[in-house]
Structure 1
Amino acid sequence: MATPTLKQQKTFALVRIIGGFAAACVLGYSFVANVAAGQPAEGAVLGTGIMALLGLGYAAFYTRSLSRIAEQEKSAGKS
């Protein structure tokens, strides 16, 4: 199977970054709203908070990946 081009890799990374950040925002809002409403931070509410953090981690991982792709693109442009 052929490897994706650098442009395709950038596009995939950007989609994953935006998706992870959007999920983190929605889940984070839900967690904060529930805790502010007086729900204890346990069970499903705690799970929502953990998933929000995982969404941020997912976005951060692909941000790093996008940085590596940009470095490859820059080095390919110099050659």
Structure 2
Amino acid sequence: MAGRILIVDDQPGIRMLLTDVLTDQGYEVITAQTGTEALEKIRMENLNLIILDYQLPLLSGKEVLHKLEENNMKSRQY
């Protein structure tokens, strides 16, 4: 497996398209449709990359990033 990617987007078509493309390239893809769901999955999953929509309803992509910083959950570099 090439790595684990979280795709966060409120549009199902975008999530499906990115999932298809990335799984064809050997990645394991996890999806979330809200910022709240994304934060939960980030806490639970070992991820290599997050693709985050900036304009999510209720909790925007920018707010998700701020919450990650507040919780000291910054990305790791390998």
TM range (shorter): under 0.3
Is the helix fraction higher in 1 or 2?
1
Is the strand fraction higher in 1 or 2?
2
Q: TM-score, normalised by structure 1?
A: 0.26
Higher relative contact order (CA 8 A, sep 6+): 1
Q: TM-score, normalised by structure 2?
A: 0.26
